[in-house]
Amino acid sequence: MEIALVRVDNRLVHGQIIEAWVPFIKATCIFVVDDDVAGDFFRETVIKMAVPHGVEVLVYSVETFVRLAPYRQDGKKKAIVLFSNIADALRAYNLGFPFQNLNVGNVYNESCRRQLSACVLLNDRDLEGLRELLAKDVQIELRRVPRERPAPVLSVSDVLTP
């Protein structure tokens, strides 16, 4: 299986994913990696109903996703991995989910410390998570949809300084 996109978006599966990213990547599988959704049958069902026919949706908690490693299955599927927050992406990375690129599409925090774009508002925990991922040589970009020009987090100097 090819992981074509690892993304943080607090909305998880929504219009930008379904209408822009899935066709652009030609994804046939979406992994929703979120402890709360994995424990909520109703939310999981609603997410699965929103996705078009032909796209498989698999929901896991962070630890189960890394332990079972469903992304290592053989096959020609292209997959999107969605996290609802930076902390979960970092936790998955530290537990053994290897990724080199992280797309940050939408992060909203009421306790916003820094706003990096119109839809990326980060608190201190988010900033620390980005710093830690950057230190592990993960390339991080801010981009809502594929047609947008990506903004690498490395160019946003206020994220790099504590």
Of the pLDDT bands very low, low, confident and very high (cuts 50, 70, 90), residue 112 is: confident
Write the burial class of residue 66 (CB in 10 Å: 0-12 exposed, 13-18 middle, 19+ buried). Answer: buried
Asked if residues 21 and 5 have their Cβ atoms less than 8 Å apart, the reply is: yes
Of the pLDDT bands very low, low, confident and very high (cuts 50, 70, 90), residue 106 is: confident
pLDDT at 19: 94
pLDDT at 97: 96
Domains of the chain: 2-152 (3.40.35.10)
Q: Map residue 158 onto helix, strand or coil.
A: helix
Q: What is the pTM of this model?
A: 0.91
* Residue whose pair of structure tokens reads 């929703």 in the numeric block: 32
pLDDT(155) > 60: no
CA distances from 103 to 42, 45, 68, 111 (A): 27, 25, 23, 22
